[in-house]
Amino acid sequence: MGIKKILLGYLLLLLANETTTAQTAVFQFLDLSPSARITALGGQQVAIMDNDPTGAAQNPALYNEQMHHQLAVNHQFYVADIQQGAVGFAHRWKTSPLTFGGGVQYVTYGNFVRTDLYANTIGEFSAGEYAVHLGGSWQRRHWRYGMNVRWIGSQLADYNANGLSADFGAAYRDSSGRFMAAIVLKHAGAMLNTYAGEREKLPTDLQIGVSHRLKYLPFRFSVMAHDLFRWDIRYPRQEPSNTIVLGQDEAKKKSYFVDNLFQHLIFSGELYLGKVLTLRVAYNHQRKQVFWMNNRRSLAGFSFGAGIQIKRFGIDYGRAIWHPAGGNHHLGLRVSF
C-alpha cells in the first residue's frame, strides 16, 4: 500500500463518515490510556513497535513476533477515585506471518448515593464500562497491516448499553528498524443496544504517528497526530479582554490557527539507559489548553514515567499532569512466558 492510497483512503473516510464529525460520543472511556507506558508518552501512541502488547490495543498493526507470549497488566488510579485498567496478551502463529492477540479494558466509576426527587436517600448504585478486543496483524515487506474487533459494554445505574467497533491500522518500518510511521482508524462501529432508545455515535478517530530512534544516541522521539476528522478541537471559552480599540468598528478577530494545529499533536520521547531502565516524557498541548487557568502556571499537559526490565519481567510507571490540583498515576507489569 503506497502513501497515495493511504491519503486517498483518508479523504474518502473524511467525506463519507459523518459519525466522526461529532464532538461528543458514547463509550469515551475507550480513549483512556491502556498502559502506564502510553500514559507517560502523552496518552496516545500508535507508532512504536516492540514487545509491549498494550500498544496493539491502540494500533493493531503493531502486533509482531516480539510480543509472542507477552502478558501485560495495567491499572490506573484515575481522577475522583475512578479506577481503570487493561490486560493484553499476544501470540505468534508459527506457520504463518500472522501475530494475533487480545485484551480487556475496563473502568469503574464507584458507588453513588441514590436519591428521590426530594433528595431523600433511597440506596446506592454503581457504574462501570468494559471492552474486549481480539485482533491480529500480518507483514508484507516493510509494512504491517492489522485489525481489532471490539465488543463494548456499559452499565450506568439501571441503564445498560453495548456496541461493536473495529480498528484498522497500517505501520511502516524501514530496514534499519529505527524509523516507523503508522496510521490507524480507531473505534469505527455502532451501538447495538442503547441506554434509553437514543442511538449515539462512537468516538471514531483517525490518528497518524511517526517515531525515530537516533543512531548515535539511545533516544527515541515520537510525534502523534489525533482527531484528524475534525480541524477545530479547541475547548470553547470566553477569554477576558481589556483592550480598547479606537478608530475601528470592531476588533480584528484573533486567529487560533497555530494553537489549533498543535492541539492535534503529542510530542514524546524515550531515553534508554542500557537494557534495564527507560525514562519517558511527553507534552500534550490539547490537554494543556483544556485545563489552562488565568494567571496560574502549571505543568498541565506534561507527562512522564519510567520502565524497568529485569529478565522476563517489566515494570512501568506513568504520571500524567492534568491540572494544578493533580493528575493520575498508572502502574503496569509485563511478563514474558
What is the distance in angstroms between the CA of the first residue and the CA of the last residue of the chain? 34
Cell numbers at residue 213, please?
530512534
Among 182, 152, 173, CA closest to 164: 152
The predicted structure's pLDDT at residue 237: 59
Which residues, given as ranges, of the chain have pLDDT below 70? 1-23, 236-255
The predicted structure's pLDDT at residue 101: 95
The predicted structure's pLDDT at residue 257: 86
The predicted structure's pLDDT at residue 196: 87
- List beta partners, residue 303: 282, 320
Q: What confidence tens digit (pLDDT) does each residue in 124-179 have?
A: 889 999 999 999 999 988 999 999 999 999 999 889 999 999 999 999 999 998 99
The predicted structure's pLDDT at residue 298: 81
The predicted structure's pLDDT at residue 10: 44
Among 140, 143, 170, 136, CA closest to 67: 136
Phi, psi dihedral angles at 254 (to 5 degrees): -75, 140
The predicted structure's pLDDT at residue 254: 62
- Local structure of 285: helix, strand or coil: helix
Q: pTM of the prediction?
A: 0.86
The predicted structure's pLDDT at residue 110: 87
The predicted structure's pLDDT at residue 116: 87
The predicted structure's pLDDT at residue 23: 56
Domains of the chain with CATH codes:
3-233+258-336 (2.40.160.40)
* CB neighbour list of residue 307: distance below 8 Å, 6 or more residues apart: 37, 277, 278, 280, 314, 315, 316, 317
